[in-house]
Structure 1
């Protein structure tokens, strides 16, 4: 049998470099695809990239070392055992600055679930490509020699890839000395190699992560950007997920230390606390808690255990005095309807007919001191409080359609609910909207809105709705809906100097071409004649629109000096974007600055992307 051939061109691996990163660099140096290189080396061409890190058989591993003429111990530092990842495939994270500085080469640590920050650049790692919004290295990259290093190689077609430059992503910066950076420095000190034992490694990782999670407070997250907070929450979810290697080990250790026989006897057997409640309280999977209790010899009760109601007078008061339903009482004391029914029969209390009229909400009575319209809307109905809350929210919007879109409903459903509300109260509550005239409450409706703002009524509404109580709309959401309804009649958003850029911008359609041109040439001054020549917009139209932008604080003007213009020529007026306009445009730096998105009326759009144009659009910034 002939000896395996060695490669003529070689690329030395960097210390701690991932095997897939090194093979990709070698393929680029040999000007061939990564799949062709793997085939030449006798390695399987896997569909998933992580198989190169965890799935190579020992014989292939030794063959690869001989073909590449590597010294002992080099390849062992570029792969990790599969036991570190459990049932989930590893996820790759990256630091844009490191990719840019290392020409697309990266360490094996970026594959580990507990690597979430770059201590060199003091920033959290990214997970997704800014263009295709997917993880870049899930699938094995193929034609790497045809694309620059550090670019997204996720396939978008049969012969095309995304190609976005991952090194251009903004840094998810962390303050100096932040607890996340300190914890990551400790984790980076742990050795990474092929023969690392999973349990021993998890023990060391948990010693670094547990104090971090316990000591992290809301104040530590305040200095972070919204994107950085989301990145950290995603990492924390990956680390604690029981399907991952570390998450499963943490769950097992927590079960062993928390769910002791004495604890289960005290809480479950004697305290009658359901196992699902114990599991949710301690953040453990329910099936694991049940299996652990069985292994300890604890008797498991299927369903809800029988409940003994000792206070008979309390039951009589709840069912007869307060007219509460059987299911409502059973839910409060943690038992079944049959148990409550049996106790009612023992007390000789006749049951109400089984129908919707027996529900607690239909029989509840409000205090007579409350406004009559509130009582008329709530008493004897199932969803009276819900209709009142939606009426309160809807009256902040110009039309029922915009209110329904905010609430996630269809307009017809909201109209039906308001019709039922008006029938219960017995009068019209608001005037419907007409063209460029928003809906308005009637005198009776305005009085109802005033009553709903009382603290006593808000507390009653909160108790009745609980998590179903929608918050009142923010001011920018109402402004966006109003501008979208007005269409071209909507005013251009005014940008004020030294003020925070608004989260939403209303930009009427006639201003899109001019503003797009100014953003594309944001670093230079321009005149009306230059805009006319570049865009083809009529001279008078450019002049009127540029004055409109200047009045709204988007551009500033400067008259040409005598030194810049010969004495005989007429001096021109130059225009440039104001700092406020630059600030508004900077919030969309992840997309081209010379296009706009124009979606359907009222939907809200992002400044910086491209789509079909309509008569008016609202740009969402931030």
Structure 2
């Protein structure tokens, strides 16, 4: 066709349009695209013997949709007046059998000369490189004038190429048989070239051999894809994929890297063998009976089960939906503590408070602690919560049991449990109940107060007549103490004079308190370790007069936290009470 266009003094594309043939961008499409009807029509139009063009086309499966790496023999181009042989398109065409020379690429542009359709053939000499190098320019190198890269006589490469060329290829040839024959020949050639003493190729031939043979298994060619499938089918067996992918948990990407195979092919091979392929993380394998028992019978939440199995709660919920297990209410109602059922050996009141109740165990524990304190306020101080919060919790506890549990404290009368409350306390002292309480509360399990803390609370509960807490520098700093409202002004004055000494007359002038009250409270503070007292020496009284007693706060008293804030609160209470 190229010679006909040159004799007709027209471009190749114009000749194809005149013959009613499509103008392809890639030259190799002319070898695989024409149908039998198109070839018969072309025989009639050109006068070529009938069926002669069938020998110039090859099966489409040999090259695929990508252009193969076409090579050529310079001597064959000179002898055939620039005609290009069909077998040069085959991916295993590495040498010319007739001249025992290695096929070449264009030395000028270092590209395949006929990759793109040669258009201006009528203005260029036969056998030149017509590869475009610009919008209106071509390479133009004379390929027929190149020196041949001759091989030694009897070279394994020439022998392998002779064996490959003997295989007849037509439009109807099975590509699988062609590829199998080519693979066997190339394997023998590879073994011959990898011997300890391979046949010499010379510097120029060695570079050409590396460029041509190493790039032959191009992943874009059908032959390379076939070689890849054959090699992969031998390596990636069903047993290997089940062991490494399903049992060992190795990702397909890692398997592809280990065996030097494309990841896309490994995925395709796994699907061919019926092995499920997962995008991202593979699904968790559940024991359905165990999952049903944990969720239904043991009333565990999906998030709790997922945390134990190392997966997400949503994954567990989807599996439960797949098993047809009815879902519980979403949120706090699905928590294990809300759905746990206690054994019948547990007292009825304990079960009534804790089953289906989020904070039942916490209310029971705080009620147990409350009953050792004289007032709810002292218990709240120990628990470090607001009294109003405790009041709400105990009211809810009494509602759950439907009975009053304790008598509230009044002045000079501490709180104490009712009969129902005393019965509940006895039930809570049971070892089994205590173990259940510790398990349910975990780190929120609050210890019972010590004897010293209870005595301090009892002293604080006496109000105005409360005994001052004894301060000792050898003991840790106090966090709970009681300040009677009547001594708040005196403590405030002492704090203002912290680090200085003061005396009764000075305090009276500053606070307006009576002299007797000041003297009594100062003595109480000194006995409790809050103040130090010092008699005024005679040399400090130059004009004589009565001996003064100087007082100052001790170090433990100055270290009490939030003392000034508490004093302001107590002063406010005292002012309100006086009004």
Q: TM exceeds 0.5? A: no
> What is the TM-score with the length of structure 2 in the denominator?
0.45
Higher helix share: 2
The TM-score normalised by the length of structure 1 is: 0.42
